[in-house]
Structures are given as structure tokens and as C-alpha cells.
Amino acid sequence: MAAGILSCAQPRKMVKELYAFSMLPQQGAVQVDDKGNELPSATDTIYVVFAETVTDSIVWKTAWVGGRYFTITAERLNGSVQEPGLNPEDGSPVRLKPGKGHSFYRLVLQPAQAATAPAPTAAPGTILLQGGYRNKMFEKETAPIRFLTSRSVY
């Protein structure tokens, strides 16, 4: 039993911080029907997580936000400082800097078909991520989601 608990805990140490952000995509042309009436927007919130890690061996799998199921497109980022978007209050860039020897993944969440298992429980306003490290699966919850003004990079 103790070995099972330790094996689950080890991957969690590979993830130092999880910064969660949401953005609304910038609108383009307004769609209209045959009579020129504006159609309702199909805008959906974009969720992006910056994961500060001590390894590049994590395989990110799935995520849940408020009971909705997402797949993850992960990109390991080069460089030290990341700017995921703009602060909506003053328009200043939000900057993230990893600790010494750490690096970032950008995890873009893509809405997926219904999950085959029930959604795990996470605190309201957070994202629950599922990943793998050395053939062991783990779940990790983000800090509260912060809304940003999009920089149109996702």
C-alpha cells in the first residue's frame, strides 16, 4: 500500500506551479442569415495553463473545467519569461518566470467529446489536469483561473 501512495506522489513533485488563464477569443466578422439578421455568436472561452516543471518527460492527457472534459495540446516552451496575455484592468502584460532549472509547458485545452468516466471533483474556478510521468498517471489542480485579455496567440 505504501508503495502505491509513493508512486502517485512522485509525479506531483515534477510539477512546481500551474498558472491557469481564461480568455475570450477576439471576434471577427459577424455572421448573418439569408435575411441579414445577425446570428448568435458561438464564442467559447479559451483555457490555457502554464505548467512550471522540473522535467520535460511529462505527457499531458486531459483536463476538466467545471465538469467539462477537455483534451490538452501541450507545447514545451523555450526561454525564461512567458507572457500569456494582458491584465484586463490596465492592459499590462502578465509575466511568468520559472524558478532556476525549471521550464514551462503551455497547455491549451480543447473541448472534447464526453468523457468515458465521471468528472473528478475540483475546486470551483480551477482546472484539474491529468498527466503521466514514467508510466504513472497523476492529477493536479491549478491555482484559481485568472481572466486575461487575449493576445491572439492561442
Tens of pLDDT along 18-49? Answer: 999 998 876 666 677 888 887 776 657 899 99
CATH number listed for the domain at residues 12-25+44-147? 2.60.40
Alpha-carbon span 126 to 20, nearest angstrom: 7
Can you list the pairs that 122-127 forms with residues at least 24 positions away whose Cβ atoms lie under 8 Å? 122/64, 124/66, 126/20, 127/18, 127/20, 127/47, 127/49, 127/63, 127/64, 127/65
Tens of pLDDT along 95-121? Answer: 999 888 888 899 999 998 876 677 778
| Alpha helix (H) residue ranges in the chain | 2-12
Burial 108-118 (b: 16+ CB within 10 A, else e): bbeeeeeeeee
Backbone angles phi, psi at 9, to 5 degrees: -75, -30
146 has a pLDDT exceeding 70: yes
63 has a pLDDT exceeding 90: yes
How is the chain split into domains, by residue range? Answer: 12-25+44-147
Residue 72 burial by CB count (10 A; 0-12/13-18/19+): exposed, middle or buried? buried
pLDDT greater at residue 143 or residue 115: 143
How many CA atoms does the CB half-sphere of 68 hold within 13 Å? 16
* pTM confidence score: 0.79
DSSP secondary structure string, 70-108? Answer: EEEEEEEEPSS-EEEEE-TTT-PEEEE-PPTT-EEEEEE
Quick one: pLDDT at residue 29?
66
